[in-house]
Amino acid sequence: MDQFAYPKYRYRKPPELAGGAARTYPVAVVGAGPVGLTVAIDLARRGVPVTLLDAEDTVSEGSRAICWSKRTLEIWQRLGVAAPMMEKGITWNRGRVFHRAGPLYDFDLQPEGGQQFPAFINLQQYYVEAHLCAAAAATPGLDLRWRSRVTQVAPGADSVRVMVQTPDGTYPLDCAWLVAADGVRSTVRRALGLDFAGQVFEDRFLIADVRMKADFPTERWFWFDPPFHGGKSTLLHRQADDVWRIDFQLGWDADPEEERKPGRVIPRLRAMLGEKAAFELEWTSVYTFQCRRLERFRHGRVVFAGDSAHVVSPFGARGGNGGVQDADNLAWKLAAVLRGEAPEALVDSYDAERVKAADENLRNSTRSTDFITPKNAASQAFRDAVLSLARTHPFARALVNSGRLSLPAVEEPSPLHTPDLPGAFAPAMRPGSPAANAPLADGNHAVWLLDRLDGAGFAALCFVATDDDRARAAAALAAVPRAAAVTIAPNGVAGALRDAEGLAFRRYDARPGTVYLLRPDQHVAARWRRPDAPALAAALGRALGAR
Amino acid sequence: MTALKDTLNIAAPDEFYAELVALHRGLTEEQSRLVNAKLILLLANQLGDLDVLRQAMRTAREGVD
Ligand SMILES: Cc1cc2nc3c(=O)[nH]c(=O)nc-3n(C[C@H](O)[C@H](O)[C@H](O)COP(=O)(O)OP(=O)(O)OC[C@H]3O[C@@H](n4cnc5c(N)ncnc54)[C@H](O)[C@@H]3O)c2cc1C
């Protein structure tokens, strides 16, 4: 059986402590978790040199995040790191909800075919970080400094100084922008004295990672009030290496130290898995969950991303996935500002968009937690009523809330987007939405739409049916040479990708002549039935923060 | 006869549920019962159709004994 071996990454004496001259770096990122690694790789691939500082010299210890969403996989695909995740991860789309001894209903998060990625993969956070670290090490312009703990932060008007503690001593590092991805206990947030407002849920959960050969299907299984764990809830997920994640709700009165001891955990597992089940305990911990966020994510030249900016309860897998979307949103904006292509105000749109997205994640995970842990007799009664109706009355299933699983935010309203003309399009792919994927053909090769967006800059998706349409789109696009054109046609139009199944046209509500302007993070900036050059130029200017 | 709706008819179910639960925040159990009873009467009056209300009452009672 495969087992993860914790890497030990090499610390190198930083140039500052080896007699090198002090300099101001364009961007320093604090924290090499999933979010800091993603933003650093993205920035470096956009040509911005990045210094990534992490206090430790290995990946996340023990078991934390396991569910990574389709959108996260698309972002990692753009960065060239999705393949090893897909290979190692456990793919799933379906879930099942149980009440007491029996099943209530099944659900499918991705019923429609023609998908490059599943709704989710399950992969232990240590694997995710190890793959990201390998990608980071292979990315030119990315200087990843281990055992480099930021201890102090001095923000200036157009730069930030941090003090970095290493085995060879402490040194000051100056950067034009500081990205704080240093997690829920963020040193940077504390150094700036920022309030992290929100609530702690009065409940405790035991997280047990168990190694076993089991024949549960690769689905998310959630039990309300199962006979093996009376009165409380249980969640089961399969992870890589025959490791299974089991979450037991314990209640607020549980003693966290006692409950994580094998003597307490093993009987719970036996009750669930059967007296004869063969398993090995790999990791246990007891958590209390909280929902909090910073009021603003940008503070001058310091920008917060991931858990340093917001934390949610894990029901819905919105923490890590939301943070990776922060990284996706931030990297191209910082790169455009640093290259002088956009005003600094572009970074304010990160704040506007991602604060809203964080609120959506907080709202969803709070509602799930409230359903799983009813706060009073009235909400307990409603929950019991919903559960007792759900088996036979489909409407009630929509009210059962065992977690609303992470979906990418539609970044709206946003100063960067050009609104649709009234009635021009169906709402689904409106400005702010992440670009839908679709299977296409390039000659005889099957390709995916998103893989054809080069990721470096803006893109214009042009839907055509004839050579004439194509020529007209090309004329309009001459106004925006920075947007790389990707042309899609139902059938043989020379130089166009072929939408044989019609899925691209359908997902984009496209007709011949339709054009979508996509941001470098693949979110829709604007769309038209038949744009002219001035409209395209204006929309591009707006998407780069022009006022 | 109009049949009781069995499939989802609430546009924003999570929002509805959150507000329903929030309605009871800070109330005693007795107060909650009163609020629920008033709510049922208001909704029943809105619905009007006694056939539908009977079906709903029967469904609600099923399995509770
Ligand atoms: C039980 C549990 C289950 C979860 N399940 C999921 C899930 O299924 N899906 C999901 O998406 N999310 C899940 N989450 C949430 C997810 O783990 C976090 O949202 C995610 O780790 C946040 O990533 P991050 O990079 O922002 O922060 P972190 O992962 O916390 O990384 C912060 C990094 O900063 C470094 N650091 C800290 N301080 C300093 C300093 N002063 N100087 C330098 N470096 C520093 C740390 O060493 C660390 O590497 C779960 C969380 C828990 C607890």
Q: Is B25 on the interface with A (CB under 8 A)?
A: yes
What is the band of A514 on the pLDDT scale with cuts at 50, 70, 90?
very high
B31 touches chain A (CB under 8 A): no
The residues near A438 (Cβ < 8 Å, ≥ 6 apart) are A114, A448, A449, A499, A501, A503, A504, A507
* 3-class state of residue A172 by DSSP: strand
Average the pLDDT over A275-303 and give the result. Answer: 95
A15-88+120-196+293-364 — its CATH code?
3.50.50.60
The pair of three-digit structure tokens given for residue A331, joined into one six-digit string = 């990297």
Tokens of B28: 């005693």
Domain A439-543 CATH (choose: 3.40.50.10210, 2.40.50.140, 3.40.50.1820, 3.40.30.120): 3.40.30.120
pLDDT at residue B16, rounded to an integer = 98
- The per-residue pLDDT for A2 is 81
- The stretch A349-373 carries a mean pLDDT of 96
Contact criterion met (CB < 8 Å) for A393 and B6: yes
Contact of B1 with B50, CB cutoff 8 Å: no
Beta bridge partners of A223: A98, A234
CA distance readout (Å), A275 to A103, A210, A284, A441, A459? 22, 15, 20, 53, 58
Residue A431 has pLDDT above 80, yes or no: yes
A89 torsion bin: left (phi>0), alpha (psi -120 to 50), beta (else) = beta
Per-residue pLDDT at A276 exceeds 70? yes
The full 3-state SS of A417-462, as one line of letters, equals: CCCCCCCCCCHHHCCCCECCCCEEEECCEEEEHHHHCCCCCCEEEE
Position A455 pLDDT exceeds 90:
no
Give the number of residues written for chain B: 65
3-state secondary structure of A466: coil
Average pLDDT, chain A: 96
Average pLDDT over residues A177-202: 96
Question: What is the average per-residue pLDDT within A45-53?
Answer: 98
Q: Looking at residues A288-299, what average pLDDT do you find? A: 96
Strand partners, A165: A149, A170
Distance of residue B32 Cα from the nearest chain A Cα, in angstroms:
6
ω into A422 cis (within 30 of 0): no
Distance between B12 CA and the closest CA of chain A, angstroms: 10
Chain A nearest CA to B65, separation (Å): 13
φ, ψ dihedrals at A45, nearest 5°: -70, -20
Interface of A with B in 353-412 (CB under 8 A): 364, 367, 370-371, 374-379, 382, 386, 388-389, 393-395, 398-399, 401, 404
CA atoms of A290 and A542, how far apart (whole Å): 37
Residue A249 or residue A214, greater confidence: A249
Is residue A73 within 8 A of residue A117, CB to CB? The reply is yes
pLDDT at A66 over 90: yes
DSSP B36: H
Query: Across residues A241-247, what is the average pLDDT?
Result: 96
| B30 vs A: CB within 8 A | no
- Among B8, B18, B21, whose Cβ lies nearest the Cβ of A395? B8
Average pLDDT over residues A344-357: 97
DSSP annotation of A410? P
A484 DSSP β-pair partners: A459
Q: Please give the average per-residue pLDDT across A241-265, as a whole number.
A: 96
Residue A22 has pLDDT above 90, yes or no: no
Mean pLDDT across the stretch A305-333? 97
CB-defined site of ligand 1, < 6 Å: A 30-36, 53-56, 60, 64-67, 125, 149-150, 181-183, 187, 207, 287, 306-307, 314, 317, 319-321, 323
Q: Comparing C-alpha atoms, which of A517, A535, A513, A363 is closest to residue A433? A: A517
> How much is the pLDDT for A456?
84
Measured CA to CA, the distance from residue A226 to residue A300 in angstroms comes to 50
Q: What is the pLDDT of residue A197?
A: 94
- Residue A1: pLDDT band (50, 70, 90) is low
Give the model's pLDDT for residue A451: 97
Which of A11, A35, A294, when mutated, tests ligand 1's pocket best, judged by the most ligand atoms within 8 Å of its CB?
A35
The model's confidence at residue A527, banded by pLDDT at 50, 70 and 90, is very high
pLDDT at A258 over 80: yes
pLDDT higher than threshold 80 for residue A63: no
Best residue among A9, A29, A54 to mutate for probing ligand 1, ranked by most atoms within 8 Å of CB: A54
Task: Report, as an integer, the average pLDDT of A295-315.
Answer: 97
Rounded to two decimals, the ipTM of the complex is: 0.96
pTM of this structure: 0.97
Name chain B contacts of A369, Cβ cutoff 8 Å. Answer: none
What's residue A367's pLDDT? 95
With 80 as the cut, is the pLDDT of residue A547 above it?
no
Give A364's contacts in chain B (Cβ within 8 Å).
14
Q: What is the mean pLDDT of residues A247-273?
A: 96
Which of A378, A388, A389 is facing B27, going by the closest CB pair?
A: A378
Where are the domains positioned within chain A? Answer: 15-88+120-196+293-364, 439-543
**Mean pLDDT of the region A46-66:** 95
pLDDT at A193: 98
**Cβ–Cβ pairs < 8 A, chains A and B:** 49
What is the predicted pLDDT for the residue at A27?
A: 98
